[in-house]
């Protein structure tokens, strides 16, 4: 409320996403579904909130050849897992395994899945024998989280494409397990890139779904700045 007209909006990271949700006077559907806002658009006398993390997950999956998902897996049960669940639902997932150290902590994610029409089950991280075969895995564990070799290999053997939300340290033990089997493993930088493009859409067009003029050129420049590609 103290910002002047020179501010178009704000890009927000944890732990500000719930505070941003509360500050928004209008929220897009993805924000409402997750209770999380990472983009605030200012002006017109209204603070508008958006969740571009979900679109970031979808963009990263598409870049790794995943456009449709039937069975999927989320590793972790924190705030980022909620956005991952919505992304997988939008990608067509019918069933999702939520892998957590403490399965009881996954209950909010399972409830969110039910509201999205997705059948979800919680499985302990070390209960390798219960892991099913999935098309894609989204890992939402914090950077530096220790995953046992048995769990990492079990997740990789059945996990399809891996999108790991961690930026650093990289590669994670989970990513190493996937690449050792010749499976794609993308870091959180790819998700960050695609969600940031959607933020630019919001700031320029006031619409997360409205492509930018010369968007391919803009995305390439953003990729080069972020990844050095």
Give the residue among 9, 6, 3, 4 at the shortest CA–CA distance from 199: 9
- Whether 17 is catalytic is yes
Whether the bond between 133 and the residue before it is cis, its omega within 30 degrees of 0, is no
Q: Which are the contacts of 190, defined by CB distance < 8 A and separation ≥ 6?
A: 59, 60, 63, 163
Q: Which are the contacts of 58, defined by CB distance < 8 A and separation ≥ 6?
A: 87, 90, 91, 194
Cβ contact 202:51 at 8 Å: no
CA–CA distance from 211 to each of 21, 204, 208, 223, 229 (Å)? Answer: 24, 10, 8, 17, 22
Please give the model's pTM, rounded to 2 decimal places. Answer: 0.91
Residues 120 and 110: their CA atoms lie apart, in Å, by: 6
Residues 82 and 211: their CA atoms lie apart, in Å, by: 25
The dihedral region occupied by 211, where left means phi > 0, alpha psi between -120 and 50, and beta the remainder, is beta
Residues 83 and 9: their CA atoms lie apart, in Å, by: 21
CA–CA distance from 153 to each of 56, 148, 205 (Å)? Answer: 26, 9, 44
**pLDDT tens per residue across all 229 residues of the chain:** 889 889 999 999 878 999 999 999 999 999 999 899 999 999 888 999 999 999 999 999 999 888 889 999 999 998 789 899 999 999 999 999 999 999 999 999 999 999 999 999 999 999 999 999 999 999 999 888 889 999 999 999 999 999 999 988 899 999 999 999 999 999 999 999 999 999 999 999 999 999 999 999 999 999 999 988 6
Which residue among 9, 10, 12, 17 is the active-site one? 17
């Amino acid at each position: 409320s103290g910002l002047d007209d020179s501010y178009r909006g704000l890009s927000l990271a944890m732990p500000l996403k719930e505070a941003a949700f509360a500050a928004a006077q209008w929220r897009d559907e993805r924000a409402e579904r997750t209770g999380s806002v990472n983009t605030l658009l200012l002006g017109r006398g209204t603070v508008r909130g958006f969740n571009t993390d979900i679109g970031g997950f979808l963009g990263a999956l598409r870049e790794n050849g995943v456009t449709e998902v039937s069975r999927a897996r989320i590793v972790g049960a924190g705030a980022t897992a909620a956005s991952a669940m919505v992304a997988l639902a939008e990608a067509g997932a019918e069933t999702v395994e939520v892998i957590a150290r403490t399965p009881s902590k996954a209950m909010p994610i399972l409830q969110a899945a039910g509201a999205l029409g997705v059948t979800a089950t919680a499985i302990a991280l070390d209960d390798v024998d219960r892991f099913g075969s999935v098309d894609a895995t989204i890992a939402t564990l914090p950077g530096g989280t220790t995953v046992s070799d048995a769990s990492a290999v079990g997740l990789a053997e059945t996990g399809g494409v891996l999108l790991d939300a961690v930026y650093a340290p990289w590669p994670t033990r989970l990513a190493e397990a996937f690449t050792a089997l010749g499976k794609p493993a993308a870091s959180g930088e790819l998700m960050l890139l695609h969600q940031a493009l959607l933020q630019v859409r919001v700031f320029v067009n006031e619409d997360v779904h409205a492509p930018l003029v010369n968007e391919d050129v803009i995305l390439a420049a953003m990729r080069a700045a972020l990844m050095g590609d």
